[in-house]
Amino acid sequence: MARKVAGFDEDDLRALAGARSFERGLGYLDAVSGLEVGEGSVTAVVHGTDVYEVELTLGAAEGISGWCNCPYGQEANFCKHCVAVGLTVLRRAKTIPRQRAAARARVSGLEAWLSALPRDELLALVREQVAEDRELRRRLELRAATARSDLSTVRDRIIALIDPRPFARYGYIEYADASGYARQVAEAASALRALTADGQAAQAVGLAEEAIRVLGEAYGEIDDSDGVVGEAAAAVAEAHLGACGVACPDPARLAEWLVGTVLDDSNDVTDLDPLDYAEVLGPSGLARMRQLAAEALRRRPSGWAERYLMERLVKAEGDVDALVAVHAQDLDPSGATHLLIAEELETAGRADEALAWAERGLRDCAAETYIDGRLVEHVCVQYAKMGRAADAVTVRRDRFRVERSLAAYQQLRSAARAAECWEAERVAALAALREDARRERGGRYGGPVLIDALLDDGDADAAWREAEGIADGRQWEHLADLSRETHPAEALAVYLRLVERLKEPTGDRAYEHLARLLLGARDCHRALGTQEAYTEHLAGLRAELKRRRKLMSILDRYGL
């Protein structure tokens, strides 16, 4: 087993990149230059179609991860350039420990030097860096303004930090720039927390709300595949909650802001939960929020956000009747909402009402081709618990009349067997499926459900009688598979007919299918004692299709 260097080996690189990128990375070993080994990372450039920057992050527990500014790498992939740099590190295994030790020494030395600098020299160094690094200057200006409670400057700096335009080179923030933008948003969150700590919580509340608005408007134009901007925005939302806890803003105004933000279709960057603010809102704020949510739901009864908010509020209050009323305003035609209401009532210990709602769902949706299967199952389970097996059969029969699928047939069979009435139900169900077949109502896979039902019952004889002229190839093959021992001649005829159909299609899937059919035909010939005819047929088939080398190899693998 290969020894790991810096916590990884070639197998790790192959697993991260995939076989194709790994193999392509081998061709870029001579294109790696400027390799710099740090304590926890490695950076380098790789010369390809362009010059690409690569950074590998090395963690003992987390393993290795990579970033590259090539187009494929910017889509969060471990690209061939990352592979090339990783392989270069492995090929320099003997020098890596020394280089990482040197990196640690440099960090330690820098820390010691900075700590020993006189104040004037340290200030001069900071001023020099601030003059050269605009991002650093902005961060320090924000911290300085926060420290002296210069609210005008703090606001300007926070708004500048969350402004996406400097990162949106083409009108949106690309994956490669998202982490830089996220760092600035996180810096803004830190500034908001500092404002609260410095006794300016009310100002922090207002600034946080403005920041959340800007982030919400910008988020749709950000490639946040790694979720780093979302995490930073969540930190801004947490800073807002913390500031509210200290400032205790007007409950009604806070409720209005929360409802407006949660229901704003353009603001999906922060997953605000209004109930996190329950203590700050108090009874009056919660009442105002519920009032606003109810008004919003009346304006847009089918609105997902409106309904979800109202459900959260009434559920938190433990008001089951109000929750039922919210759900009942927009009943899904599949019966899913009826089931949701039934489950809420059952959880509340109101079993009779729960069953009544579930039964209402079956009545309301009786004519629908699709009904939520969980609702039907829920009612049948409740009937079984109550010893109402006949009622369960009625439910399954009603659904079978509408749906006419193999699954509905199987469910009817299960319920009828439990009620000891399957024989009579089966006669009626098969008669209905026979009429469907006559009218050419096909099954899910093309052939009539009648044949699938008979095959599922294991009634091969009846399936043979019904199949002629209506069964599709899949059903014929299934029938032959079931019957090759009991009806080898009939099964053989099916296999040979299907083999003829598969002479034209190409590809591994078709060839594997052809081999399975030939195996079935071989079993039939053995049962009939006609192995010579099989050998002759197979030889002719191989001669006819001999140019298909992949088919020949597959037949060889099956011993055909």
Q: Summarize pLDDT for 474-489 with one digit per residue, the tens.
A: 899 999 998 888 889 9
Alpha-carbon distance values, 396 to 157, 393, 409 (Å): 66, 5, 8
Q: What is the dihedral of CA 131, 132, 136, 138, to 10 degrees?
A: 50
* Structure confidence at residue 486 (pLDDT): 87
Over 70: is that where the pLDDT of 1 sits? no
Q: Give 333 or 5, the one with higher predicted confidence.
A: 333
Percent of the chain past pLDDT 70, that is, above it, reads: 96
* Structure confidence at residue 285 (pLDDT): 92
* Structure confidence at residue 132 (pLDDT): 83
Over 50: is that where the pLDDT of 83 sits? yes
Sheet containing strand 51-59, strands side by side: 32-37, 41-47, 51-59, 63-68
How far is Cα of residue 534 from the mean position of the Cα atoms in its chain? 50
Per-residue pLDDT, averaged over 347-372, amounts to 88
Give the confidence band of 63 by pLDDT, cuts at 50, 70, 90. confident
Map tokens 């047929």 to a residue. 537
Report the mean per-residue pLDDT for the chain. Answer: 87
Q: Give 161 or 243, the one with higher predicted confidence.
A: 243
Per-residue three-class SS string for 308-373: HHHHHHHHHHCCHHHHHHHHHCCCCCCCHHHHHHHHHHHHCCCHHHHHHHHHHHHHHCCCCCCCCH
* Structure confidence at residue 60 (pLDDT): 57
Over 90: is that where the pLDDT of 394 sits? yes
Q: What does R_g of the chain's alpha carbons equal in angstroms? A: 35
* Structure confidence at residue 6 (pLDDT): 63
Residues paired with residue 42 on neighbouring β-strands, in sequence order: 37, 56
Q: Give 140 or 185, the one with higher predicted confidence.
A: 185
Selection from 149, 185, 150 nearest residue 164 by Cα:
185
Give burial (CB, 10 Å; 0-12/13-18/19+) of 303: middle
3-state SS, residue 490: helix
Percent of the chain past pLDDT 90, that is, above it, reads: 34
* Structure confidence at residue 8 (pLDDT): 83
Q: How many CA atoms lie within 13 A of 500 on its CB side?
A: 5
Residue 215 and residue 246: Cα distance in Å, rounded?
23
Q: CB–CB of 148/200 below 8 Å? A: no
Q: CB–CB of 297/303 below 8 Å? A: yes
Give the confidence band of 414 by pLDDT, cuts at 50, 70, 90. very high
Over 80: is that where the pLDDT of 446 sits? no
pLDDT (tens digit, 9 = 90+) per residue, 254-278?
999 999 988 887 666 677 888 899 9
- DSSP codes joined into one string, 20-42: HHHHHHHTTGGGEEEEEE-SSEE
Per-residue pLDDT, averaged over 408-437, amounts to 92
pLDDT (tens digit, 9 = 90+) per residue, 512-541?
999 999 999 999 999 999 989 999 999 999
Q: Hey, CA dihedral for 96, 100, 102, 106, is it positive or negative?
A: positive
Over 90: is that where the pLDDT of 146 sits? no
Residue 327 and residue 321: Cα distance in Å, rounded?
10
Q: Hey, CA dihedral for 401, 407, 413, 418, is it positive or negative?
A: negative
* Structure confidence at residue 39 (pLDDT): 77
- DSSP codes joined into one string, 88-135: HHHHTTTTHHHHHHHHHHHHHHHHHHHHHS-HHHHHHHHHHHHHH-HH
**pTM (2 decimals)?**
0.56
Give the confidence band of 279 by pLDDT, cuts at 50, 70, 90. very high
Per-residue pLDDT, averaged over 283-294, amounts to 91
Give the confidence band of 115 by pLDDT, cuts at 50, 70, 90. confident
Give the confidence band of 312 by pLDDT, cuts at 50, 70, 90. confident
Residue 310 and residue 263: Cα distance in Å, rounded?
11
Over 70: is that where the pLDDT of 398 sits? yes
Over 80: is that where the pLDDT of 553 sits? yes
Give the confidence band of 325 by pLDDT, cuts at 50, 70, 90. confident
Give the confidence band of 396 by pLDDT, cuts at 50, 70, 90. very high
Q: Give 1 or 54, the one with higher predicted confidence.
A: 54
pLDDT (tens digit, 9 = 90+) per residue, 160-171?
888 888 888 778
* Structure confidence at residue 5 (pLDDT): 63
Over 90: is that where the pLDDT of 224 sits? no
Give the confidence band of 339 by pLDDT, cuts at 50, 70, 90. very high
Q: Give 47 or 329, the one with higher predicted confidence.
A: 47
Residue 353 and residue 348: Cα distance in Å, rounded?
10
Residue 337 and residue 355: Cα distance in Å, rounded?
13
Domain extents in the chain: 10-116, 124-249, 484-560
3-state SS, residue 517: helix
Taking the CB of residue 17, how many other CB atoms lie within 10 A of it?
Answer: 22
